[in-house]
Amino acid sequence: MRRLIRRWRERVDFTAPGLLVWIVLGVGYSLWEEFEQWRAAGGMKRKETGQ
């Protein structure tokens, strides 16, 4: 994962489209972690009662 990010950093400069890519990756990654935790906690049943 880290190697991939390093490779991206070399290619993507911090222009507007570059930053947009970083924002999308960041949001996607945090959503994925959120989903993994939710799934580990028991999925749908847990979500319905927890909210």
pLDDT in tens, 11-24: 666 677 778 888 89
C-alpha 16/C-alpha 24 separation (Å) is: 12
Residue matched to tokens 């993507």 = 12
Residues of the chain above pLDDT 70, percent: 71
Q: Which residue has the higher pLDDT, 9 or 38?
A: 38
Q: Which residue has the higher pLDDT, 30 or 19?
A: 30
Alpha-carbon 45 to chain mean position: 24
Look up the pTM and report it: 0.43
C-alpha 51/C-alpha 41 separation (Å) is: 14
| Burial (CB count <10 Å: 0-12, 13-18, 19+), residue 18 | middle
